[in-house]
Structure 1
């Protein structure tokens, strides 16, 4: 397990390499803990990518990124609420386990950080990784809003909002 929500974030290894030095930003850690709490509060057996997206949609940075990429935060939240209502629940003393999709998303975010030379993964890196998890409803909900991976990358890398990027593209 790459990440586990608790009072102490624990990092294990990927391919024998310790993740202790590869940190998540404080904001991202808070979002991941909120996602774990959301899954637990809803009595879900698994922590899914959708729980992470839901937590990001309740964080200022996540909201700003989604809006800048042309997405409607309230519609995505509504889609996620409907998704959650269809999930099976377990007893109250559950500790939701990460799905493999969550592990892939965290791994992708860390690999993105490594390749970009950044010191830590942030909310934007996780949103890009969620978008790439094409078999998840979270990715589908982002795409349904017209948010592309390029939109996310343009905004998190260059601060270019979708509307500005489209206008610039049309001039070229």
Structure 2
């Protein structure tokens, strides 16, 4: 990846979190959870992470990148982000707002030039957030589809 490829980054980040009108099948991570209740977000399926845990983890990742872009990612306690598996309605709304704020902060940093690319590693760190959000959007979509299936097949 070349450093100049970061020019397209803000739009791709927005697409990963909010989707795009061009691709109706990809709604983005935050759009995916619009209308999800705290109870729904707190359900764990397949003995894995809940929707809330996925969003908490993504918020942690964005915060790490926003606060210390050159920090070695190996020094981060990644299990912390997964700790919020069950949330109250108030905690859920705070978590959704936190993810939005972190996304907007990162967008602004890149657009303003404050997030200067000193190396390809810096650009890779930013692009990894787009891919990471897209992965979690897919994981959340599968959790929500499974929950709908369970609800529609309840006896």
Instruction: Tell me whether the two structures share a fold, i.e. TM-score over 0.5.
Output: no
Structure of greater relative contact order (alpha carbons < 8 Å, 6+ residues apart): 2
More helix by share: 2
Structure number with the higher strand fraction is: 1
Instruction: Compute the TM-score of the two structures, normalised by the length of structure 1.
Output: 0.29
